[in-house]
A and B are shown apart, each in its own frame.
Chain A
C-alpha cells in the first residue's frame, strides 16, 4: 500500500471525556487504513464552546497555538470534532485574510516562543477517509458488509459550515457515500445538516428537546434503525436526551446512535468492545450483534 501522509491528531476535549468511544474507534479505524494518527504534542482547548462568543480574540489565540504546534511537527491537523474543525479552520482563515489580526496573534504566540506561518490545513477525519482513502480501499477492507442496516446519516451543522469547502453546505452527501461503501443503507434524512441544539440543551432545554425530537422523528419516519454521527456534541444530544424527549413529548424513541467510526470498524471486522459499542445508553445490541459475527 502507498504510504499516506502523516497527520497530527487533535482529539479535542470532548472525546477525552464523554465520548471516549469516538476516540477509541477512530484510532482503530485509522490504524486499519494506515492513517498515521500521532497525537499533537501538548495540544490545548480549541477555543470552541461559549468562549468564542465571550472572548473572541483569546479563543482564536488558543486555536492558533494548536496550529503553531502542528506547524512545528510539519503535519496537517486531523480532528474528529466538527466544532474543533470550525474553530481551528476559522482562525486559519482569519490569519490569512486579516493582517492586523495576524500581527496580534503572532505577537501573543511569540511570548510563548511560538510562531505560525499559515501552512497547516485542518481536516475532519471523515473527509480524509472519503476523499483520500476512497471507495476502492474502503471496500477492500470490509470484512462484514453491514447489509441492509438502515442508517440516518447525521452531519450536524458544523462539518460543512460556514466554509462549505468539503461538501455542499446545506445538503452534504459524503457520509451517505461512505455508508454505501460498507454495505449499509443510508435512509432519506432531509434534516441531516440541521441543528441539534448544541449547547442549548444546557441553557434552554425546551428548545433543545424540541429540536432533537424533530430529528429523531424524521429518522424514525424514514425507517432508520440507527443514527450515524460524526460530532461528539450531536451524539450526546441525540443519544442521552432520548429519555427526556420521550418524557416531554410522550414519544417512545430508542434509536441507537453510533459514530461513523464505529460503523466503519464493525464493517472492518473489529469487535464491539474494541470499538466502544458497549458504552452507549441506548443499547445497539439488536442491530450490531448480527454484524459482529464473522460470516
Chain B
C-alpha cells in the first residue's frame, strides 16, 4: 500500500524561520515521494497547529506524519498524542529536528534552508517504514526509596509518608540531619537551625510509613520504573536498636575519647557515641576502629552498664533487598578541601579555620559551648572572612557555590554579636539573590562590618611591620581602591564552597544516572525538569544536583516528592516500546549480547539455545544490536530499514 504522508514545517516563532525559509522547505517536501500534503506553520505545537494536523489526517486520510521543528525531547510526546487523537498509531509519526540541528547553529540562510530540506527528506523517507507499536503498561510499586537523610531527604520523606505511602530512608551516617544539624543559625532570618530541624527529624523517626535505615548504604539498584530492587547494606552498630532506649549510660561510662567528626575534630566523643544529643535514631554506634574491646579485646564497660542488655558485639553486617517503584537521591554535597589552597595556610596556620568549624564553635552545644575563641582560648580582636574558597576559581571549581555569600554574612553577624572583634569580609561579588537576602546584606552593612572587594591572595604570618607581629595577615587587592591591602587579624574563616560528594561517581553508576561537567548529578532539564533524571523513576533533589541553600533544598525535596506521588497515583507505568527484539531464526545463541547488556535484560533459553529479551528490563540502548555477530537483533522504531532509508535520503 502506498503511504500518504503529511509534512508540517514549523517556524517556531522566529527560532527556525529566522534563517530557514520554511515556505520553500514545505514546497520542497510536496515534491517528495508519497507526500500528500506539506504546510508551514508558525507554532505547530499550539492548539490550532495540532488541530491542523488532526484535520488533515481525517480529511486527507493520511497514514504517516512528519513534523519538522524542534528536538524530540520536548514535543515528540505532544505530536504522538496529536496523531493518536486522530486515529493513527503514535509511532507512525516522525519528528525532524530543524532547530537545534539546523537553525540554531548557523546564520547562513541558504545553507540552513538546504540543510532543513535534507533533514525533512530523511524523515519522510524513514517514516515510510515506521511500524505501529503498542505501549505496554505495568503496575507501579508505590513504595519509595530515598537516599540521604539531610534536610532535603527529610522533607521528601515526610511529604511522601504523610500521603500514606511507604518510604525507605537510607542514611550512611549514624544519624539523619545532615549538615543542617551542625549549623548554629540560618540566614537570613537567624532562626536556630536545630529548633526548626529537630522536630522534623523526630517526625521521621516516629513516622509509621518511614522505615529509617541509618548507618546504611545502597549497594545495588536494578530494575525499571515502577519495579526497582534496592540492595541495602546495613552496617553493624553493635547496639540492638529494638532494645536500646537511648538513655546514654553507655556513652557516659565509655572510657575512651576520640575527636568528634560531628564537631570537625574540635571536640571529643566516646568510642560508643551518638553524633549529637538529638540524633535520630537515638541508638548509639560503637566505633570499631577505636573501641578498646575491638582493638585490644578488653573493656566491655558499655555492656556492663547497659540497663537493657542492648550491646551486641557479635552484630554483623546485613544486606537486605527491598522492592520499590521509584527513588529520590538526596545525597548532598561535600565541602571544598581548603588544604589544597596552600597559600591560605589551612592546617599550617592554627587560627585559619573553615566555615563549618566556625559553625561548631558558635553552636551552643558545640565544643566551646558557643564561645568564639582562638586556639589559645582567647576571643579574637579581629576576624577576616574569606569568600569563594574553592569556588569561582578555574584552578579548582569554576562554579559559584551559591551559599557562601549569605552564610559569610551570617558568620560576620555572629562574630559581631558574640565578640568585640572587628570583622572584615573579603568578597569578589556579593550575591544576595534570595528572598530577604539583600535586606540581610544591608543590615550587615549597617552593623559596621568592613567589606573589602577583592579575592584574598594569601594568608601569611610573616609580619612586615610592628602592627602585623603575631597576627595573620590577609593580603588582597582591594579592587575598589585599586591597591593591595594587608589586613592583620587574629582569626581567618574560610568560607568553603560546595563540591560533589566524593562517592558521587559510584552513586551515579549504581543508579545509572549521569553527572554534569562539574561532577554534580545531572537533571533531565535545568529549567523544566529540575528534579527528574534521564532514568525514569529516579529523581534528584538538593545539593547533590548542584550547590543549594536550605530553602532551595527543601523546595527540591518537596518537588521530588510531588513528582514521585504523581507517578504513584497513575498506578501503572508505560514502557516505551522502542526496545530490542530478537529474530529467533537468526540467533545462534552465542551469548555475546548477554554479557554486554547493562540492564541484565537478556537471558539464555537453554532449550531453544537462543537469547531472550525481558521486555520490561530493556531500555533500548542498542548495545546488543551493535554487538550481535549474526545481525539477529533489531530495535523497534530503529530498524535497519528505517535507518538506511534515512541515511540514503540524506546522501541523495
Contacts and interface: CB of A to CB of B under 8 A. Distances in A.
Interface of A: 168-171, 190-191, 214, 218
A170 B343 contact: yes
Closest 8 CB pairs of A and B: A171-B342, A170-B343, A170-B342, A168-B342, A218-B462, A190-B462, A191-B462, A190-B460
11 contacts: A168-B342, A170-B342, A170-B343, A170-B458, A171-B342, A171-B343, A190-B460, A191-B460, A191-B462, A214-B462, A214-B464
Interface in B457-492: 458, 460-462, 464
Interface of B: 341-343, 458, 460-462, 464
Contacts of A190: 460-462
Nearest to A171: B342
Contacts of A169: 342
Nearest to B343: A170
Nearest to A190: B462
Contacts of A218: 462
A218 B464 CA distance: 9
Contacts of A168: 342
Task: Report which residue of A168, A169, A171 has the largest number of chain B beta carbons within 10 angstroms of its beta carbon.
Answer: A171
B104 to A, nearest CB: 29
Which DSSP category, helix, strand, loop or mixed, fits chain A's interface?
A: loop
A170 B343 CA distance: 6
A190 B472 CA distance: 12
A170 B345 CA distance: 10
A223 to B, nearest CB: 14
A190 to B, nearest CB: 5
A190 B464 CA distance: 13
A251 B342 CA distance: 31
Contacts of B341: 170
Contacts of B343: 170-171
Contacts of A170: 341-343, 458
Contacts of B460: 190-191
Contacts of B464: 214
Contacts of B342: 168-171
B461 to A, nearest CB: 7
A218 B342 CA distance: 18
B473 to A, nearest CB: 11
Nearest to B340: A168
Point out which of B343, B462, B464 has the most chain A C-beta atoms below 10 A from its C-beta.
B462
Nearest to B342: A171
A168 B345 CA distance: 13
A169 B341 CA distance: 10
Contacts of B461: 190
A150 to B, nearest CB: 17
A134 to B, nearest CB: 23
B400 to A, nearest CB: 23
Nearest to A214: B464
A214 B463 CA distance: 9
Given A170-B342, A171-B343, A190-B460, 13 more contacts: A168-B342, A169-B342, A170-B341, A170-B343, A170-B458, A171-B342, A190-B461, A190-B462, A191-B460, A191-B462, A214-B462, A214-B464, A218-B462
A273 B460 CA distance: 39
B463 to A, nearest CB: 9
